[in-house]
Amino acid sequence: MSEHRPRVAIILFNLGGPDAPEAVRPFLENLFLDPAIVRLPKLLRWPLGKFIAARRTKAASENYAILGGKSPLLELTIAQGEALQAALAPEMEARCFVAMRYWHPFAEATAREVKAWGADEAILLPLYPQFSTTTSGSSIDDWKAACAKVGLDLPSKTLCCWHSDEGFARATAALVQASYDKARAELPAEVPLRILFSAHGLPESIVKRGDPYQWQVERSVAAVVGQLDIPGLDHSVCYQSRVTPQKWIGPSTEEALEHAAKEKVAVLVCPIAFVSEHSETLVELDVEYQELAHKLGIPGYFRVPAQNSDAGFIGALAGLVRRVRAGNRTLCSFAGGRQCPKQHGDCPHARARNAA
């Protein structure tokens, strides 16, 4: 008799994106009504969230029109899941399920799929290398609520972050190195080239409350830089996609571009917090910031592609799944236990301990 292979459901969490022009407004409403994003009591959050969504719909619709009227994120995430399943197939019966936070497929529908498949165990894998309460934290809370609603009760292990996992850093560095070499070959020898590691920004108040995201972004950059073979490398970290009027962490990507223009330095932009192409890479980086760079007179503007289903990246995810599954922690980082310094009280390990 053949040995029973447990059915392992791997839940891939991501932001989601509108799948048609008419989905832009409701997608934005879902985003800005999330209490993890707009941190106000519901009575205030609802009118404000609706107002912000209405105000941003026109600009967002124009961005998605450049992409054919929809986000490519779901198809790219499904492809990542299929590649990850294939990488794990020799050793486990794994199936990847996609749960998006702000547009279909939502967590509840995905939880029903997992239940129907008859999974024996689950691994929660946010496709955000760095943990933030606004991304991975919100998705994991949403997943738990969905499981309670549909009656899905599985032994589960949660990977909270993998910001400086060696496999992730190595795979990302390979993409950066190839892009750097290509850019360097296209530039005159006398023109310096700087790598801008651009991450999605956060309001400064969220970081000051203990969110570990910014610290983890910096760890990601250090890990990737450590894998590069570029003597005298010039690089910096910056933050994009500010959407509310309060003070956000910086420097902004716009400021980094202005600084490069003053120094007459070409730039290679690497999206360090995104692992799939979507509007913030294909429009914000490739169109808006490229136009700004040209306007500022920057001598060269280049971009590192997102990982998507890059073989090295998928191999890194497979390695993470293996380690999580083999470990004895229900909540773990890429290295096992908590990685964040003590001042980051919104680290999920700190929250779990405080809740115990």
pLDDT in tens, 100-118: 999 999 999 999 999 999 9
- Band (pLDDT 50/70/90 cuts) for residue 243 is confident
What are 130-174's pLDDT values in tens digits?
A: 999 999 999 999 999 999 999 999 999 999 999 999 999 999 999
DSSP 8-class letter at 211 = -
- 5 vs 83, 89, 92, 105, CA distance in Å? 20, 11, 7, 27
Question: Is 167 in a helix, a strand, or coil?
Answer: helix
Domain ranges of the chain: 8-17+71-161+312-355, 166-303
DSSP 8-class letter at 283 = I
Q: Amino acid identity of 154?
A: L
Alpha carbons 348 and 350: distance in angstroms, whole number? 5
Is the predicted pLDDT of residue 343 greater than 60, yes or no? yes
H-helix segments, the chain: 24-32, 42-66, 73-88, 107-117, 136-150, 166-186, 204-208, 213-227, 253-262, 279, 290-296, 311-326, 348-355
Alpha carbons 219 and 197: distance in angstroms, whole number? 12
- Give helix 136-150 / helix 348-355 axis angle, nearest 10°: 50
Nearest-CA neighbor of 259 among 232, 235, 280? 235
DSSP 8-class letter at 289 = I
Alpha carbons 186 and 180: distance in angstroms, whole number? 10
- Band (pLDDT 50/70/90 cuts) for residue 1 is very low
Is the predicted pLDDT of residue 356 greater than 90, yes or no? no
Average pLDDT over residues 35-50: 94
Binding residues for Fe(2+): 200, 280
- Residue 213 confidence (pLDDT): 98
Answer yes or no: are the C-beta atoms of 128 and 320 closer than 8 Å: no
Alpha carbons 253 and 241: distance in angstroms, whole number? 9
DSSP H or E run through 97: strand 93-100
Chain centroid to CA 118 = 29
Alpha carbons 285 and 299: distance in angstroms, whole number? 16
What would be the CATH architecture of the domain defined by 8-17+71-161+312-355?
3-Layer(aba) Sandwich (3.40)
Alpha carbons 141 and 120: distance in angstroms, whole number? 21
Q: Amino acid identity of 124?
A: L
Give me Rg for the CA atoms of the chain: 20
Alpha carbons 154 and 175: distance in angstroms, whole number? 37
- CATH number, domain 166-303: 3.40.50.1400
- Band (pLDDT 50/70/90 cuts) for residue 87 is very high
- Residue 246 confidence (pLDDT): 85
Phi, psi of 38 (to 5 degrees): -105, 105
DSSP H or E run through 240: strand 234-240
Nearest-CA neighbor of 241 among 268, 269, 291, 281? 281
Is the predicted pLDDT of residue 254 greater than 50, yes or no? yes
Side by side, which strands form the sheet with 156-161?
A: 93-100, 7-14, 121-126, 156-161, 331-333
> Identical fold at 8-17+71-161+312-355 and 166-303?
yes
**Mean of the per-residue pLDDT values of the chain:** 96
Burial annotation 49-86 (CB, 10 A radius, 16+ → b, else e): beebbeebbeebbebbeebeebbbbbebbbebbebbbe
What are 299-329's pLDDT values in tens digits?
A: 999 999 999 999 999 999 999 999 999 999 9
Alpha carbons 51 and 280: distance in angstroms, whole number? 22
- Residue 3 confidence (pLDDT): 61
- Residue 355 confidence (pLDDT): 79
- Residue 354 confidence (pLDDT): 83
Binding residues: 200, 280
- Residue 154 confidence (pLDDT): 96
